[in-house]
Structure 1
């Protein structure tokens, strides 16, 4: 990709004598940017709180089912056929509902996680573009770079800008 960028710039420069042939390239570490941004930590905390609330409800439901199951085991011999049938149906119904709610929680959690990640990625992309324009950077590379000097890495500036934007909200 870098070679292609140089080839394009060289071809253009050969055709125009007055064109500035210097190409400014930078590198970013997207994983580090995401992990060190306060937006990521905030989103992670929001997800954990949402997950903990729903898990607490599911645990309460499971405990209710366990109590009914113990009652069934303890009192089955003393119950009438109708009572026994009602209790077994209630346990089955609650178990089905719990299973459904667990699946729904997992789907909601995955969806919410993707929403937050998408929002963060968009925000990071905006900051990268701002810094590129401000510093006159022509090309910013990410994953797959074999070597780069620390001078080319603008990840710290992006993280600082994200921290500032987070603090300003």
Structure 2
């Protein structure tokens, strides 16, 4: 009986050991999605991409406008146009539409590549800021994606966002 009691005590001690060890661990949680949406750096990135790709979008709008003008002319004046004139306008509309499709495809590809590059840079900045915050505040572990629950006591998202805001002000 004494051996069984010793074994049971040993098993309970081993089962409780991780809980005792975790009692000294300081943990934080960061909602990375929220930081990616709300940080000034993310908002600046969005505006920067918009400015960067505005000329190409403007050019596409001009092509679309020209195609629409030609299409309207065809519909309005088809009865009084010569066959050659109508065919020339239809060909020009097709050419513009092909050019637009190429432009849209190229723009989407360029935009996605540029956005992915910028998001990678933003993610590295956020990771660095989280690590600095964790070291400065004595955290042993910071978790992010894949968390099912985090109480407000361990949520450091607002603190990280504040650090990013201060950084943006200093960089700005």
TM-score by length of structure 1 reads 0.76
User: What residue is the counterpart of 1:129 in the other structure?
Assistant: 131
TM-aligned CA deviation for residue 91 of structure 1? 2.1
Gaps of 5+ in 1: 1-6, 14-20
TM-aligned CA deviation for residue 159 of structure 1? 0.9
Gaps of 5+ in 2: 1-14
Deviations 1:119-166 (A, max 9, x none): 111100001111122222221111332333322111122111111111
User: What residue is the counterpart of 1:62 in the other structure?
Assistant: 64
Looking at structure 2, the residues matched to 157 and 28 of structure 1 have their Cα atoms a distance apart, in angstroms, of 9
TM-aligned CA deviation for residue 25 of structure 1? 1.3
TM-aligned CA deviation for residue 43 of structure 1? 0.9
User: What residue is the counterpart of 1:79 in the other structure?
Assistant: 82
Aligned to 1:34, which of 30, 33, 36? 36
Equivalent pairs counted in the alignment come to: 153
Looking at structure 1, the residues matched to 130 and 36 of structure 2 have their Cα atoms a distance apart, in angstroms, of 12
1:45 is paired with a residue whose SS is helix
Cα-Cα RMSD: 2.6
- Indicate conservation of the 8 Å contact 1:26/1:141, yes or no: yes
Looking at structure 1, the residues matched to 138 and 127 of structure 2 have their Cα atoms a distance apart, in angstroms, of 16
Q: Does 1:150 align with 2:152?
A: yes
Deviations 1:98-124 (A, max 9, x none): 111112122222222212211111100
